[in-house]
Amino acid sequence: MRELFDEAAGRSPLDPQEAVRQAARAPQRKRFYKEAGAAEADGGFVIALDGKPIRTPSGRQVVIPSRELADAVAAEWEAQAETINPMTMPLTRIANSVIEGVVDRVDLVSDDLAKYLQTDLLFYRAGHPEALVAREAAHWDPVLFWAAETLGAHFILSEGIMHVKQPDEAIQAACAALPQDAWSVAALHVVTTLTGSALLALALAHEVRDADQVWAAAYVDEDWNAEKWGLDEEAVARRAARLRDFEAAVTVLAAVKPLAAKGP
């Protein structure tokens, strides 16, 4: 069971795309259990397959803090047919990553998020055409204004892809707004990795932008090119896979937010 779950979760807890690649390379296994469900346990809920709780590759029991989230993870296992397809189990992969690689190093994951703030998607703007410039501004400026006015994080914008060093004070101010619990931090890292923007992830966490707005903002340039040159089938497939992981991260964030707000 541990080996299977390792394949379902991937071995890189900080990179959802690497988790997907690991899952895609792993051979699919036959379903070896009849029933999957969530059960109460110390500290939260476990996912039980025929009554036996799943564990991470290192032997840790996967304890999920929210009943709603545990039910959603269990539903992924229950939905598997004759063979188990890890690609259809993004919540399972996130849950395993949290227990295996985030719980004991929240600070490390937060530091990795801080690195994204140095080269955030929202900082690098198109110089032309005018319509694209306006579209980027419409999606991105409200997030930057919020960061400046509410968080005190004043970032520098650049035209094109020329790197611009961001003020340390701005990065520190934005990092101060990060959640402190492992589940929320992990979900924000997934969102950041998939969108290329830690600021969009922060805006989502603080309910400045909803999930649809964040996803649209992340794909402003790609959507613009698609409108002009048409859709590429491979790009569409890759985006659909990313969206599945993005929606899973949003689900995690929403499920644990009330618990994180209460504190320990």
**DSSP letter for each residue of 6-48:** HHHH-S-TT-HHHHHHHHHHSPPEE---S-EEEEEETTEEEEE
Choose the CATH number for 106-262 among 1.10.3580.10, 3.30.390.50, 1.25.40.80, 1.10.540.10.
1.10.3580.10
CATH architecture of 2-102: 2-Layer Sandwich (3.30)
Q: What beta strand segments (E) does 118-261 contain? A: 124-125, 158-159
Look at residue 224 in the predicted model and tell me its pLDDT. Answer: 93
pLDDT in tens, 96-139: 999 988 999 999 999 999 999 999 999 999 999 999 999 999 99
Q: What are the two backbone dihedrals, phi and then psi, of residue 184, each rounded to the nearest 5 degrees?
A: -65, -45
* Annotated domain spans of the chain: 2-102, 106-262
pLDDT, tens digit (0-9, with 9 covering 90-100), for 139-184: 999 999 999 999 999 999 999 888 899 999 999 999 999 999 999 9
Rounded to two decimals, the pTM is 0.88
Instruction: Report which DSSP code applies to 55.
Output: B
State the CB neighbour count (10 A cutoff) for residue 85: 15
